[in-house]
Amino acid sequence: MMRRAKLSRQLTPYLFLLVPLLLFMIWVVGPMIYTFYLSLTKWDGLSDPIFIGLRNYEKLFDDPVFYTSLTNNFKWVIAFITVPVVSGLGLAVALDREIPAGRIIKAAIFAPLVFSLVVTGLIWSWMYNPAYGLINQVLRLIGLEQLALGWLSDKHLVLWAIIFVAIWRQVGYVMILYLAGLQGVDPTLVDASKVDGCNAWQTFRNVTFPLLAPITVIVVIISVIDSLRAFDLVSVMTRGGPYNSSSVLANFMYIEAFNNYKMGYGAAIAVVLFLISLTFILIYLSHVLQDEIEY
């Protein structure tokens, strides 16, 4: 009897995990495997899939729109691991002290992250409007008409205009992560550096920033993953135009699968995007697990 009760206690946690694990297998792992299968087929979403092997991948790696989208994704990555990280860190350091209206300033910087990406994209599309948008109206008002451009219609500007919106939203998130990291910095080390004659910059460079290295790794990897998942803003603001100049892999995949009814081809794009993202996810998980083991 006691053995049965002990066995029941040992199995109870696994029984509780069984339901979410089953749902995860059905809603995540199952569709993932099916997507890999679809990438090897020709399918319009209505008729039966026709197995064609690796032809979708052969076509994909000969598609100039794929390389444009991939290049744009990497431009997004570079922008995300530089501007938001540096700006978020600077804001976190500046606001990690008692200042007037500090909480209000933090909330205002973090607020864009609360807004839906669709709403954000619609608002900024209006602001970028060349005829009556807020940005061009202000430029005309202060006498800088030559800078009033077609932000979303110029193929050389459009991608950076969208990335700017994404960065504006991302900075608050990075700031919060660094603020959390700064709470773990031992104040005695900071005080000791001041006693040794270090100024504010030397203290930050030699004491604070090295101690924030684990947070920096997490911030960079999360920023990379977020940039690879870019879709909403592009879809709402330009749908990848003009002439695919703002296309990213997720948007390219959506258009091929659901607009052009090339489900197999769209699945191949999804697989490539998944493999690129998986690389950074594994780096992130290995870092987190290493910290857990050390702890």
**Domain count across the chain:** 1
The band of 204, judged by pLDDT with boundaries at 50, 70 and 90, is confident
* Predicted local confidence at residue 28, as pLDDT: 85
Expressed as residue numbers, the domain containing 130 is 65-264
- Classify residue 129: in a domain, yes or no: yes
- Classify residue 272: in a domain, yes or no: no
Lowest mean per-residue pLDDT among 7-16, 21-30, 103-112, 256-265: 7-16
- pLDDT of residue 293 exceeding 70, the answer is no
Tens digit of each residue's pLDDT (9 = 90 or more) over 181-192: 888 877 788 778
> In this structure, are residues 127 and 135 in contact, taking their beta carbons and an 8 Å threshold?
yes
When comparing pLDDT for 19 and 61, which is higher?
61
- Classify residue 131: in a domain, yes or no: yes
CA distance 78 to 171: 14
Tens digit of each residue's pLDDT (9 = 90 or more) over 128-156: 998 888 999 999 989 888 888 889 998 99
* Predicted local confidence at residue 35, as pLDDT: 92
- Classify residue 212: in a domain, yes or no: yes
* Predicted local confidence at residue 182, as pLDDT: 85
Tens digit of each residue's pLDDT (9 = 90 or more) over 275-289: 988 888 887 777 766
Mean pLDDT (whole number) for 98-119: 86
* Predicted local confidence at residue 190, as pLDDT: 77
Q: What is the pTM of this model?
A: 0.86
CA distance 240 to 247: 4
- Classify residue 37: in a domain, yes or no: no
- Classify residue 115: in a domain, yes or no: yes
Q: The domain spanning residue 106 has which CATH number?
A: 1.10.3720.10
- Classify residue 108: in a domain, yes or no: yes
- Classify residue 286: in a domain, yes or no: no
- Other CB atoms within a 10 A radius of the CB of residue 150 amount to 16
- pLDDT of residue 245 exceeding 90, the answer is yes
Mean pLDDT (whole number) for 205-224: 85
215-248: string of b/e by CB count within 10 Å (b at 16+)? Answer: bbebbbbbbbbbbbebbbbbbbbbebeeebbbbb
Tens digit of each residue's pLDDT (9 = 90 or more) over 57-102: 999 999 999 999 999 999 999 998 899 999 999 999 888 887 787 7
